[in-house]
Amino acid sequence: MQATNHTRLSQFLLLGLSEDPDVQSILFGLFLSMYLVTVLGNLLIILAATSDSHLHTPMYFFLCNLSFVDIGFISTTVPKMLLNIQEQKKDISYLECITQAYFFMIFFGVDDFLLTVMAYDRYVAICYPLKYTLIMNSRFCGLLVLMSWFIILWVALIHILMLMQLTFSMDTVIPHFFCELPQVLKVASSDALINNIFLNVLAVLLGVFPVSGIIFSYSQIVSSLMKMSSTASRYKAFSTCGSHLCVVSLFYGTGLGVYLSSAVTQSSKENSLASVMYTVVTPMLNPFIYSLRNKDVKEALGRLLSRVKRNQSVEGK
């Protein structure tokens, strides 16, 4: 096929997860259900944390932001996949693909940074409890979130500007269910060496520093807990970290699984299936992890539902 500049390119073709019509109908129902559960679950977390004064703390401020990012994360990929299955087509325009890749990088990166910020919050709360409110004040918490967005917005923009310099063949086939940047770079007609180097360097930097921050925070937390004489105090202090540790393990575990699967096998189908874990399953499970393991969130959700029922009763009368 003749290579053409992106300005003349009309569309890409996304292979998706399966070409079998029977399997596609099952995938549509499955992913639609997972998408609705994810959006509803994260919205409930946001509503509970914002409407309940008991949850107006830094920990739940970061959790609200994480829930918002998870909604954006899954909304970047799943709706387009569902639309293609429903309309029985595979195309995605060049502009749509670039936009999808851009926002996917943003939400993935902010998710990564927020998990690090939440680990730091738990570190300050357990290691410096008397200075917690002074250190983790609202201005500082807002600054941490803004810095996360600012860094990732610029990093993603640089990636996209570099991507726009590449050329592609007409009707380029992307062996994935969404425009993931590494997959798009693989199908470029022009040399993408600089793009890949930049991608790998930034992936290491944006991976190593957050993970190092999380490891440091929890090493200090464990050190502080070991100094506590009371077992009950240790358990109570560490229990506040349980939900965050589960989410961190799920996020980095699935991400590492995708990386290893792509390194071990060249099968596009296996890589796509592995990607489902961190793009769809992880955002869906986060609300359940925080609500099922967190007494404060469960109580806040109970109060929220009670207020809704009371309002419906009043309107019914």
The CA-to-CA distance between both ends of the chain, in Å, stands at 69
What would the DSSP string read from start to end of 251-264? HHHHHHHHHHHHHH
Residue 7: band (very low, low, confident or very high) from pLDDT cuts 50, 70, 90: very low
Query: Given this model, what pLDDT does residue 206 score?
Result: 79
Please state the separation of Cα 217 from the chain's center in Å: 21
Share of the chain above pLDDT 70, in %: 88
Alpha-carbon torsion 122, 124, 127, 128, what sign? Answer: negative
Query: Given this model, what pLDDT does residue 6 score?
Result: 47
Measure the CA–CA gap between 276 and 285, rounded to whole angstroms. 13
Alpha-carbon torsion 238, 242, 246, 248, what sign? Answer: negative
Q: Which long-range contacts (CB under 8 A, 24 or more apart) does 95-98 make?
A: 96/179, 97/12, 97/174, 97/179, 97/184, 98/160, 98/163, 98/164, 98/179
The overall pTM is greater than 0.85: yes
Judged against a pLDDT cut of 80, whether residue 62 lies above it is answered with yes
Q: Cα torsion for 56, 62, 63, 66, to the nearest 10°?
A: 150
* Largest separation between any pair of C-alpha atoms in the chain: 72
Distances (CA, A) of 167 to 146, 192, 221: 34, 10, 50
Closest CA to 222 of 207, 241, 209: 241
Closest CA to 132 of 142, 121, 140, 141: 121
Ramachandran region, residue 56 (left: φ > 0; alpha: ψ -120 to 50; beta: rest): beta
Q: For the purposes of burial, counting CB atoms within 10 Å of the CB of 75, is it exposed (0-12), middle (13-18) or buried (19 or more)?
A: middle
pLDDT tens digit sequence for 130-182:
999 999 999 999 999 999 999 999 999 999 999 999 888 877 888 888 998 88
User: Mean pLDDT in the chain?
Assistant: 84
Judged against a pLDDT cut of 60, whether residue 1 lies above it is answered with no
- Domains of the chain, with CATH numbers? 11-316 (1.20.1070.10)
* Tokens, residue 28: 């549509």
Amino acid residing at 23? V
Judged against a pLDDT cut of 80, whether residue 270 lies above it is answered with no
Judged against a pLDDT cut of 90, whether residue 274 lies above it is answered with no
